[in-house]
Every structure is written in C-alpha cells, then in structure tokens.
Structure 1
C-alpha cells in the first residue's frame, strides 16, 4: 500500500533539493558560497541565487556604538536594510576589514576578529537536532556554507549536499521567516524560539522571547526573562489555519497570502509559515518592547506594512516600564516614574528602553529606624486612583484601611498597600502598575519618605454649641462660592484624550490658575511667562504671546502640529488658549529655571563639568529632533541660554521651539528687526540670506562656548575687554593643542579632557562662516557621545568680527 509522506518528510526532501540545486550551480557562480579558500571579509557579501537575501558584515542603525559590527543576513532588495538573523549577537567585532567569516580546519563555520581569535563558531551553538562536526577527526571534512534564497545559511558536506551539518534556521534570533520552525524536538528537548534584541541598536539577547508553549503545543507563549509568561495568541485552529487570539490572521490566510502549518508528531512539534507567492517579503519579529509584529514589505510605499501586533496593548507586556513606574496606553511615552521616583537610566529612557525602571529620590525612613528624627521617622503614603494593581501582592488580615496601612508601616520591606475589603501588601519592588482604561481600577497607596509629601496635619476645631443664623448663612455662602470656584478650576485640568490632542483652555481658566497673571516667571522676545497651578497641584508655565497676528483657525491648526512634537529635551506643550486677540500657551514648568541663571549669575551655584556636558548633549538631541525627526524641519531661530530650561534633575529642555513654527518664514524679518545680543546670530542673518537649520547650528556653537567657559561670549562694560574673546581663544588653543591654559586650576581634575576637546572642536565647527562647513545637529550628537571623531577646525573669520564688537553687547540690527 502506498503511504503519504508526512510534513517532516516533505521538508527534508525540499531541503535536499534546495541544497543539491545550490551545489550544482557553484561552479558557475560562487557568490552565495563560503569555503576555506574563499572567506568573507570587509564589504564583501554573499547573495542568494534568487537575489532575495544577502549576508555580510552589518552595523545596526543610528543610536548605538558605531564600532560594533556583526555577521548578519538581510533582505538584498529591500531599500531599508533589515536584518533577519545575526550570528555573533553577544560578541561584536570592531574592524570588519581585518575580520573573516570562514571554514575552520575541523569543518566549522567561524568568525575571526582582527586578532584572528574565534569570536563565534557554529560548533559553539548547541543544537541537538543536527549532527555535530567531528572536531577530533584528523582529516578535516570539506565543508561549504551556502546562503539559500529562503534566507537560510546552510553548512554542509561539499561531497554530499544532504549531509547538513548546521543551518541558521535552527538558531533563530528575533525574526521568523517563511519555512522557519518555532517548536521543539521531543526526543532531545532542544527548542527553537525568537528572542528580542536588548534595545533598538544592540542585538544581544533581550528580556523577551516567543516559543511554543511546553504545556500546550497548540499555542505560542510570550515570556519575560525566560521565566514569566505574559501573553498567548490562543490555540491553533486547524479549520481556519489561524490562532484564536489573533483574528487578524484569518483574512490574510483566506486571501492566500500565506499558510500557517502546525505539526505535532512523535519526533517534533512546531509552527511554520509558508508564503504562496515568493515575491512577498514576510517576517514576524519580537521587538525590544516585548511585542511581536507581523509585517510585509510594500515596495510602492518603501516601508514595512504592519498586519497584526501582539499583544496589542503595550502595557500588557510584563515589566515593560520596569520597577516603580506607571504604564499608560494613551500616553507618549507610555512609561512614567511614580511620584517620588526618577529614571534609573535616563539615557535608556531616551532611546525608548524603559526596562531599568525607576528608583527612589529619598530612601525610606521606616518606623523601626529609631535613629531617625522623630518628625521624619514615619513614612507616608501617596494615593493613586483608577489603576490596575501591580503583580506579586500578598493578602494579610485587616479589619479596616487603617489596619492595612499600619501593617505596611510595621514592615520595612513593604512598599505599597491597597484595601478594598481585603488588605493587599507589596513586599517587593512594584512592577506592572498600569492605568485602568475603563475607569474600573483600584486605588493603591505608594510608600514614600515623609519629605516627599507635604505636611497633611488636619487642624481640629471644637464644635460651636450656638451658631447665629447670620454665621450659618455666611458659611453656606462661602461653601457655595468655594464649590463654584472649584468647579471652574476643574475645567482647567488637562483632559486625558486617547488621540493625544492638546488641552484647550478657556481664558478664564488661565486667569484662575495664574491668580490673574500675578506671578511672573520671566519675559522674552515673544511675551511674558506666568506661573500657574492646576487643581491637582501640577505647576505649569503660561506664556502670553505678544505681536502674533495669526487668525484663530490658523493658530489652532499650528497647535495641532506642535502638539505632536514630543522629546525629552524639548519643553512639553500641554495646551493653548485662543480668546479674541489673546493667544496663550501652557507649558510644563521647569523647576530649575533657565540655563543662564546657573551659568552666569553671581549668586548661583556652579554646574559641574559632567552636568554641563550632559546639558550640551541634551540640547543637541533636542535640536536634532526638530531638524531631522519631525515631519517638517523646524528651525528654532533663537538658541541661547535663556531658552534652555532645566527640570528638577537638570535635564535640559529647549523652550520656545513652537514659536518658530507659529511664526513661519516671517520669523526672519521679525528677528532681524528686534534688539538683542548679536553674539548668537549666524552671519547669514545679518547678510539677509535665506535661513536654514545651519543657523541653529551656529547659535548652538556659541551657546556651547558659554557652557564650556561659564561666562558670556559677549559681555558688557569693562569685563568684556578684560580677556581675549573666548571663542577665538578656544580656536587658537585647539590649533596649538593646549586647552588647559584657560581652565580653572582647581577644576582641572574634575574635567574629562576628551570631552573638553570634543566640545571645543564641535563649538568651533558649528560657527564656521560657510553653512556647508557646519555639521548637522545629528552629527553633533554622534561626535559629543564619542561615536565619531572630527579634525581640528579653522578659525572662522566671523569670530574676529564678534570679538571686535564685544564691548557693544546690545546692538540694534536693522531689517
């Protein structure tokens, strides 16, 4: 009786045919093959016979170390280089020109670095499903590595193509391609699974993985740290060929885009995708945020089109925001630290990796700490409403919320409690605290040091036995007035909208929260700024614009654009008001004010070199975002210390960037007709030339000189002529190779000389006379972070012009 071969037999036959066809073509074209005598090095690459995939040395996108290189497979015909497999995920090399991917004497595929040391080998990648190369053989086996048009890199015996020694499809990284198996070998227990990158530019294994559920082979399971499951796509339905929890798959399968196979026999169990049209580029990846994305390349749009995302909710990913943080689906970014906490790694948060979470601003005192002052001995609690409670709570007996609070205070390991008839305590770090989307969440009390919360003592009054009718009426009137004002004030609370639109304030609301615009924080070229306090105690800065002639419709359109611009180094715009001719903007309040107060004020505390350098890097990142990451290039046009604000942690934020967008190209005429310090204006402003983003680069360079020296480039009075103009002095010392002469001897030991040299070079390159000679803000970030080096710049002629006018800081520039 004839028997029907099962799926695994067909897969073996298909692999044999592919290998046999590849080997038979090697004599004509070896562009897809590596042998011991034909290694891969430098910018060489393998290209599969169908031109679909390429293999070579690969460097991840911008943001990571520029010196880290990897052996990777990517799509050869996709304009956006997209890696689908990486060999040396945990062992990058620094010099591909002197490194080699080759065949070793014992027949293994190996990667040698510039020192000819083995940094990766196919022999070191455990695989119990395939035969292992015999390292003890005295006669080395003749092996070849072939890149197939499926994206599979296969190591085989050159004399026997069916003798597969190793293949990349058995060692997945973060991507599943068609014909790749995700599953496990029942005899050996070996499994193939997807493991995320650590972050967007580091391909080493991250915290999230996808594998076949060992408890139920008919479904995928998503794991955090290889231990905690947080999502499953539901069981595989043989009738539809899709998973019950991913309905988006059904139309793709019914439209014959691909078929999804589930195989479960005595030897193995696995899932595999098969594409019916080989011209379709399909991939499924698990990214650094713990979500899987199924995408197809759309050539006409030059982008990867997303078909389904799992889990759909970012906050469903276990510990995506790390410890002591809060996840909100509608927020950008979705993660924020709890009150009393700050980011453990601000640089990681900037790159979108929140896994390290947050840490306390002030350590807990704990009731048992008898050495603490009596007033600060007992910790306090901050209440958060409408939240999904964190994981890993413990129930304890308690008759009331007071008993529950006392139980937490009595244990120094308790970090929070919640009471809803049952007392829940958290003895660990809080993880997976989320906003409730449907309003049915619980309340939780976060334990903080007493100094983190204001004094909440309640004054007790004796009840008056006899109250005259007039006092009763007066009390009722006062109560009604308070209720009315509170209702009006609540209108000023920022609405939580799912689409991320800005809050629209009434003018009366802003009058109320600013107490009639009575507390002035400062003033600038475009208006005055006043302090405001929302009903929830959030402090804001309200700017009244002056001289803006835009109509209400155009103003609202501009606001909708500015409202989409979010970056950690840009002051966040919270809302706006358009009332008659009044135009007001509501910003987040910066506790440490503007940079000029810390750099130049006589009574201000000096900023350390490390903090000044991080401020310089942060400002550069903010401007790079405006110039290069927004839909339209936004030129700030007024970069100076007064427009750089500092938050409570001295993170710099560029302010007034929205005004450049509001005023558009007319801004150049406005600026050149006003009075100001000419020391920040690029030469093209004065000459009347068209302005580009390089005008901001010039201004940034002049700002950087002031950050380095902690003094004005252009100073008033006798002080201006007391020493050589600092930018000129810096340029001269760079050429002479001696930057220490103008540093304070007492601070030399605190300064990183490499950072100092980079900062001085960048400042001098930024203020070059010709725009084409100035770097972009993106390049400046790379230089300051040490990823790119630059040479010594020439001394710009324009610096000498500024130096000659240093005694006349206040200059009127005519239009």
Structure 2
C-alpha cells in the first residue's frame, strides 16, 4: 500500500521548476521532459530534494562515456543510489518523459528503453523526498509508485527492504548494467549469490547477532546498524550493531561484496563487509584462479596444469591448448551437445576448496574417487569436482566455474579436478601428477560388437533381477555387507547424485540404530515409526515408509532433497534417509513428548495448561507460515492434524510429515479423501474439486485450533448439562442422557452469543479467561471460512496471535456451511440405534466429519 504523503496544497503552486536549471524543486508535473543536453550545465539534474541531500538527473557515471541513466544521486558524495534504465542506457540526447501514465525513457531514435509499470491512477506529480525516494503521486498526494519499492543495488535509511526482495550488482562503477551477483532476503537470513550459487550468509558472519527464530518481514538500516525485523517491526531477528551515524547506506558492490558504510566529514567510512574473506567471492581471481590470503588482499595464481591468460579478468586456462573448458548445460535435462567420449579431467592438485561448498555440502559422502568422477561425468551441470581423501566426500563445481580458495594446510587432503573437452588421451585419476598428462583422466569408452553387447545386456538384466530380490534388509534376512560398503562398481550403478540430499544412511546402519526395528513409537498413513540411537548417541525417530506412491528411488530422493533443505524451529528436522532397493526410511530428530493428540486428548497425566496450548498454536502457525512463504519451495502440507504436530522439550510444537504427501499411495482411502488429508480436517474445496492452495492448510489449522481450545476431538459427546465428556474414550456409547456434538458449530453459536467460557477444556477449570479463549476461537473461525479467499494467510494468523495484527471477526455468512455439517451430525445421533457402523461411515464421509471411535473403526 502506498504511503500517504501530506503537505499543503499551496506547495504545488509555489514550487514550480525553473527550467533554466539554476534552481530546482522537489516536484515536477506531467508533460515534463528532461534530457542531459537540456540540463547539461547542471550535469543533467532536474529535481532536488527539499533538504538538498539528493538529486534526480539524466546522468553518466563517468564523464568520458556515452551511456546515460535516470538516476537518484546522493549530492555530497555524488554516489548513485538508484537508477532506472540500468540495462538500457541512452545517449545525452535521449529523453525522459513524465506523463499522467508514469515515467518513460526513450533513446534519441524514439525507441522506448524503460518505463514504470502500469499505474492504478493518473499521475499528478513526481517528487524526490528528503530520504532519497523518487515518488509518483496521485491528486490526493497518495503514492502510486516509489523507487524505494524497486531497489537496484543500494538501500538507504528509511527504506524497508522486504522478504523475497533482491539487490543486483552493477557490472562496474561506470557500467550500471545488472551483474552476476545478487542479494536476497529470506524469512530468516540474507544471502549473497553468484549465478544461483550461494557464497555468503549474514547469519554466519561473526559480526551478526541472531536474536530470534521469528520470520523476518523486512531488512532496514538505521543510525545504529543493520536489522532483520519481524512482527511488524517489533522483533529483531538478526542485528549488526554499527557506530552511530546520521546517514548510511547498504550496497551490493560490483565486486560481489555487501557493504554498509556511513558518510562522515565528506567521505565514506566502511563499517561492515561481507564476506570478510575476499577469497570467498566467486570471481575474486577469475575462472579457476587460485585465491589465498583473502582477509587482507587477494593473492592470485593459477593451479597446476593451468596458466594465466588475463588473471582477475578471465582467469586461468589449460596449459595444453588442445583442452578447453567443458560447456556446462543451462537446464536440468542433464544433456549436452558434447560427445561424452571427449570428456577428460585436469587435476589441479591438493589444498583447494570452492566458494559454494560450505553452503551446498557434498554431493555424495564416503565414495571412492572413481565414483565421484563418474557422478560428475554423468551430469552436464557438473564442471569439476573436489574429492576429500579422508572422508570420501565428493563436492561439485556447478554450471559456471568461479575462483578456487587455496590453503594447503586446511584442505591438505582435498584434491580438485576440472572437467574439460580432451584433445589427447590423458591419464586416470589418482596416478602420478609429476607431469601434465598424468593429471588427466577420460571416461572409458568401450565400443562393443552387437553380439557382445547382447550378452552383456543379458548379464546386466540378470544382475538387476538379483538385486531387486534382495533389495530390502529389513525383513529379517541377512544381506551381504555390500549394502553399507558396496564395491565401486555396484556403488556406481546404485549412485544417486541429486543436489541437496541430506545424510544418507546404510540399511545395516539403520538396523543397528533401531535394534532391528524393535521399539515402535507410532504409526500413520505413511507407515510405522521406530525409536533409534545413532552412533553419536543422538536419539532419532525412524519412519519406515510402507505406503509408497512414487515409482523408484530417484523420485523419493528428489522429494527428500526438498524436505532436507527446509529448516525452521517449528518443523521437525530431517536428519537423513535410507533408500536401498524397496526400502525407504526417513530419520528425524526425536520428539520427547510425542504427538499433540496423545497429550491433548488423553485423560492420563497432567493436563496441558492454557499457555502451553497457546504456545503450541503459535508455533504450529509459524511453521505453516514458513512452509507457505518462507522457504524456497512453497509446500502445502495437506494433512494438518494433531497427530502431525509433534512436541519437543517444553512442549515446543514442530510440524511433521510436511512435503511427504506426494509419497502417499492413493489407495490409502481409509484415511485420505480425494488425494490427501484426514476427514474432520478437510477443507470444503476437497469435496468440490476446487483448486487446492495453502488456504487448505489454513482450514485444517483452524479445526486443530478448536480442538486445542476444547481439549477434545471436534466430534464428541455432550450431556444435557452441556458438560463435555470423554470424547476420545473408546468405550463410550450413546445413551438417552447424551448427544453427539459437532464442536465447530457449537463454537460458532457460542461466538454469536459471546459465551466463550463454555468452549474451554473443563479440565482447565478457572485457569483461563474468556478473553484468552475468544482470541483463539475468533482466529479459528476465520480460518475455517468456506471460501478460501476469506481465510487469512498463515502469516496473518501469526500476526493476530502475536498481537501485531488486529484480531479479525469471522464472517458469519461464510460459516453457515457448519450448520449443515452440524445437522448431518445430529442425524447420526438420532438414528444411533438404527444404523450399523458401515452406514455411519458413509454418512460421515459425505458430511466430511470424523467418526467418534466408539461408533466405528473407520478413522
């Protein structure tokens, strides 16, 4: 929403621009035209902020060049803080036009080079305010468009940089075109990336203080430092404290550094630089250039088998001119036009690392050098690899080759190989590296006669059949040790090289950790869960997937790669996985208090106090909000229910089974309807074949929230005295003194009457107030609106629970469907003696209501 800017109407009349260029105003009006030639005496300046700190101009960064841009400039330092047409410069005769439709920039031939997006109302004026924000105003002085909302490479004080926003570096100080470096703000961190590869995170910097696990909403710089803020600006997630300053900026430099600097006594003083080690910059020494001593100043050289072409510009090239760099693919199809028979590798020696390794991790762990090589050879996005002798870890260089980091002590057992197109027959890896030829190794290409190929095909198919028969080691049979330590040939055949996979465990390792799957701690739609202990004595929960819907190991691992890279305090952490033959295991952190349903609905043990319930509700909301908008891949859970909310120490809520819905076998119709979800928590759109979105999870969350309030399932028994009794007791039966109650409808009726205390868990007695209950009930009813568009987002739910967003009132007209559900539920109550369990199951399925366990085993 645009910011409303108030100032006297008379200001428009007295602030007219003197076209002579000698004095400026903070306003210009439609039908205004500017070019550098028109204002050449004043360096193209046509607009100035009221305090004189900023100006707008048709400007060229270097006086000896011909490229001009529409810029906002800090006057005292002549620093460009924003530019419009950075990828489409014009000449000094190119023109900027301000019309009622917005800003347009044309070259000298009249070709459109840049314009503001379509604007909702007519432009009445353009203003440059005292913060350096270029704003288009409507006739009510409301903002239609702001340069602060379209940042380029710099953030100023007073500017709020939102989550998912990006800054892009310029190619150089004189060329403002978008470069290869970008800064992105996520809900929990600030990332620097080069061509899609991360090379720095703010949270890992020694000067950054991580203060909270809340989700960030925006980043800002002020007099005291840099902040990531959430909770409508009330919660500090990450803070970088800096010396006091009245003016500072945060910029992504053309070098790839993120800097924060203040302007003092006529000069810029640098207060913060990330990364502090310049060798971490992807192109610090050009392609394949070796960088050392990056904390002070770069020392660049070329590794073995490479020499300097134009060091720090294009980097290093192979010494043997018959070799050329491998042309990596730019897609995910893993194909390339290069003939695989020409592939080779140049060894660069030991003591090297690559900038992205600490953020992407190894592609595979515990493999031999040949497997690592063949993994890279089989993927066209791999342009080289690093191999650690001691651990067998295999790291890739992806797509675009950057600089190497050199430290012979730190990475003394890590060797590197660069993928090239070969012109002669090089040596295999691991050989003598005294000369150039000994550091190269090709893919072995075997040309087979048709008859020989047929024989080998038969042998290969027989081998696959033998492996499929003995794929699982969890059925009580004893398998060879090859499952944990396969020979190189079998390891290669069974290899999976999907980027981002978490730790992969062996089948035998999991059998040992779980004592041969001895201790069962739970079960659900995906399979059984067992308690286990890893060699480091950490306790884990091992989920054995038995109802697998995907076909094959690769699809399973692709899903796990997504899940394994999602980290949030309110999501259960995936420690690793096992995928061998038909066996699928997921290894999660162990939750000491089990699932919410066991604690909430049980009459054994202490009752959950109200503050504990509220914290569980808030934690669950935060976890869902992160899945919906905070992580790289939006994830819709599709099965939010108390059984999938696990409780850790101090009853900290963590959502489980997120992202696994694609793995479910659709034949699990006993628990899942349409595609996935559990009856009683299914949103109405499941039953009408409407589009499924994140608002489907919001509905399920609302149903869970009502159960948290009442301490009972939403379908429960109520006596005539309105007391709630034993909704989860399997031995309860219908009697003349009780009736079935559909709690969501009861909650709606009590909301309409303002009788909130009747909704609370009676076990809480007087330890909760009507105001506390009202808050959760109103949020819950808003979440279960029939129309998905009327439901709040989970981020808004978090804001309402935290108090940063005003509590909304539910729309009664969007909740009337609950009355229909309630009537269907009442019908089941009145005919309790006339229907059998099978008939009840059909009725409840039609009404999307979960059965009480006393009536049927359907759930």
TM-score range with shorter-chain normalisation? 0.3 to 0.5
Question: TM-score normalised to the size of structure 1?
Answer: 0.45
